[in-house]
């Protein structure tokens, strides 16, 4: 744990004289419309987003400026050299006055405070070194510049635009050549940013340009902080686990769910765990995952409707032939379950397709920690539409052969069943010839983990994806 400067002053009954204050305020308007004010003092510039045009508000802000200056003078605090800014946010409490603040050092691209506090008090993620913490301070610096860009002129050098162009160019190539890149922007977004920024190189920075620069640099600084940029164990791959985590493994429950639901939960479970490595999510990968889920559920619903129409026609034939309708009930229930689960999942997750990364993190945290089974319940629920469709298809085939048995005879049913089994096996074998990836290999891989099996280990290749080769 590291100790760094931070503070929120708390005073009561502190004297203040309006005549001692310099009240030369200048107003600025953020490119998105927010009004804020600055005031030059002897050692630093003050920035507030309160409307000091009101006399009462101005008196409160000026009182806190005077208190801050007196605090620095009394404790003989040596402020860093260079352009400094002080951001103030007074709070009006019932029993005492308080004011949140931070200083901005433009030369070092950091923010700092005058008091000591732990990183936990700042609400930050784990910090492993002083250099790692400096990256976090740089991210907050760029957030300050993004929120208050219009009054800044020479504090942010023109070279920053060149740096951003180089960073985006490298990130674009990294995204194009690696599917597990940790760069926050996609290759297409990098290209759009570069098209906008290249003509602006060498121009004097305006409030609009600084706001854009700060937003991009803030995202880059955040990515560097979360991937431990410059540290001994930096995260170089999106799938690389760098933070300690509690691995939730329930092999028996997972094996039973995969066996009952045709191995579909295994796919969703792997994708959910891959998305939430180190409890961070990349927005584009989340959007791709949700899009594929919505498409999967939509396709399942369309297939189920086809079976539903066919089973309705078969019911008419059953009634005409005088056969029992009980054989169609499993198929009807499976199709109804697929339709109900697919419709609910589609309506509940449709708005998450284009959601932000922070919204996705909140969703994934709730899904992972709401149950002791981790992501397994979510994987099972996501698999319901397709799994119920497959069961409906099987029950429909059984119902069809039952009708055929009553109408034609047992030999015709036996021949039809044999041909159908041969066809299904051929399709499965051709579509996935590898034993590990085929349906039969998946069923066999489940056997040793089931509680009622005691088979030895098989000489199968280790599970896991094949290594990617760069093209």
Most confident of 264-278, 298-312, 454-468: 264-278
Residues 36-94: tens digit of each pLDDT? 999 999 999 999 999 999 999 999 999 999 999 999 999 999 998 888 999 999 987 55
The C-alpha angle 86, 91, 92, rounded to 5 degrees, equals: 145
pLDDT 10s digits, 423-446? 777 776 776 655 444 445 554 444
Q: Give the integer Cα–Cα distance in Å for 215 and 146.
A: 6
Task: Name, of 110-124, 242-256, 296-310, 427-441, the range with top average pLDDT.
Answer: 296-310
pLDDT tier, 316 (very low <50, low <70, confident <90, very high otherwise)? low
Q: How far is CA 326 from the centre of its chain?
A: 47
The model's confidence at residue 306, banded by pLDDT at 50, 70 and 90, is confident
Q: What is the pLDDT of residues 174-211, one digit of tens each?
A: 999 999 999 999 999 999 999 999 998 888 778 999 99
Confidence of residue 225 (pLDDT cuts 50, 70, 90): very high
Q: pLDDT value at position 230?
A: 94
User: CA–CA distance from 155 to each of 83, 105, 205, 221, 226 (Å)?
Assistant: 7, 9, 10, 19, 27
Give me the torsion for CA of 452, 455, 459, 465, rounded to 10°: 10
**What Rg do the C-alpha atoms of the chain give, in angstroms?**
32
DSSP codes, 366-422: HHHHSSTTTTHHHHHHHHHHHHHHHHHHHHHHHHHHHHHHHHT-HHHHHHHHHHHHH
- pLDDT at residue number 433: 53
Residue 414 near residue 378 (C-beta atoms within 8 A) = no
Q: Which residues neighbour 290 within 8 Å (Cβ) at sequence distance 6 or greater?
A: 349, 352, 353, 355
What Cα–Cα distance (Å) separates residue 436 from each residue in 19, 37, 273, 465?
82, 65, 20, 11
1: confidence class by pLDDT, cuts 50, 70, 90: very low
CA distance 392 to 2: 59
Q: Given this model, what pLDDT does residue 428 score?
A: 65
Which is higher by pLDDT, 279 or 9? 279
Identify the band that residue 330 occupies on the pLDDT scale cut at 50, 70 and 90: confident
Averaged pLDDT of the chain = 82
Residue 316: enclosing H or E segment and its boundaries?
A: helix 283-321
**β-pairing, 84-92 with 45-48?**
parallel
**In the chain, pLDDT over 70 holds for what percent of residues?**
80
Q: What mean pLDDT do residues 106-126 have?
A: 84
Give 460's DSSP letter: P
User: What are the domain boundaries of the chain?
Assistant: 3-226, 253-401
- Indicate the Cα dihedral angle 314, 439, 295, 248, nearest 10°: 130
Q: In this predicted structure, what is the pLDDT of residue 131?
A: 93
Contact in structure between 37 and 165 (CB atoms under 8 Å): no
Give me the residue label for tokens 């697929």: 338
Lowest mean pLDDT among 50-59, 286-295, 326-335: 326-335
Joined tokens for residue 347: 């309506």
Residue count of the chain, please give it: 471
Confidence of residue 461 (pLDDT cuts 50, 70, 90): very low
- pLDDT greater than 50 at residue 6: no
pLDDT at residue 200 in the model:
87
Helix extents (H) in 75-205: 130-147, 159-177, 187-197
């Amino acid at each position: 744990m590291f100790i760094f400067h931070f503070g929120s002053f708390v005073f009561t009954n502190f004297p203040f004289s309006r005549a001692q204050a310099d009240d030369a305020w200048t107003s600025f308007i953020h490119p998105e419309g927010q009004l804020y004010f600055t005031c030059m003092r002897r050692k630093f510039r003050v920035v507030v987003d309160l409307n000091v045009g009101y006399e009462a508000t101005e008196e409160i802000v000026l009182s806190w400026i005077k208190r801050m200056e007196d605090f620095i003078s009394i404790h003989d605090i040596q402020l860093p050299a260079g352009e400094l800014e002080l951001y103030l946010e007074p709070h009006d409490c019932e029993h005492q006055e308080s004011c949140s603040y931070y200083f901005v050092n433009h030369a070092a691209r950091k923010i700092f405070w005058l008091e000591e506090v732990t990183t936990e008090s700042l609400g930050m993620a784990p910090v492993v070194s002083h250099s790692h913490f400096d990256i976090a301070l740089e991210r907050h610096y760029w957030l300050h510049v993004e929120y208050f860009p219009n009054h800044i002129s020479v504090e942010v050098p023109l070279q920053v635009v060149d740096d951003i162009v180089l960073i985006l160019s490298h990130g674009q190539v990294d995204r194009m050549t690696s599917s597990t890149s940790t760069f926050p922007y996609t290759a297409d977004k990098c290209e759009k940013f570069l098209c906008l920024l290249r003509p602006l190189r060498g121009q004097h920075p305006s409030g609009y340009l600084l706001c854009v620069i700060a937003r991009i640099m803030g995202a880059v600084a955040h990515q560097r902080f979360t991937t431990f940029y410059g540290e001994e164990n930096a995260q170089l791959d999106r799938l690389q686990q760098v933070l300690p985590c509690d691995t939730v493994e329930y092999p028996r429950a997972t094996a039973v769910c995969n066996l009952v639901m045709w191995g579909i939960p295994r796919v969703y479970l792997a994708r959910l765990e891959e998305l939430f490595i180190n409890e961070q999510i990349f927005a584009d990968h989340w959007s791709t995952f949700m899009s594929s889920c919505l498409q999967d559920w939509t396709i399942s619903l369309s297939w189920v409707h086809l079976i539903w129409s066919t089973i309705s026609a078969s019911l008419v034939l059953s009634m005409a032939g005088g056969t029992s309708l009980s054989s169609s009930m499993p198929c009807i229930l499976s199709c109804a379950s697929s339709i109900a689960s697919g419709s609910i999942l589609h309506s509940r997750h449709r708005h998450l397709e284009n959601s932000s990364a922070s919204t996705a993190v909140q969703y994934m945290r709730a899904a992972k920690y709401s149950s002791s089974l981790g992501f397994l319940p979510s994987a099972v629920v996501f698999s319901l539409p397709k799994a119920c469709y497959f069961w409906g298809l099987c029950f429909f085939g059984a119902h069809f052969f039952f009708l055929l048995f009553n109408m034609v005879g047992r030999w015709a049913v036996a021949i039809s069943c044999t041909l159908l089994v041969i066809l299904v096996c051929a399709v499965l074998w051709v579509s996935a010839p590898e034993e590990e990836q085929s349906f039969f290999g998946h069923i066999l891989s489940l056997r040793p983990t089931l509680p009622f099996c005691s088979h030895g280990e098989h000489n199968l290749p280790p599970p896991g994806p094949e290594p990617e080769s760069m093209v």
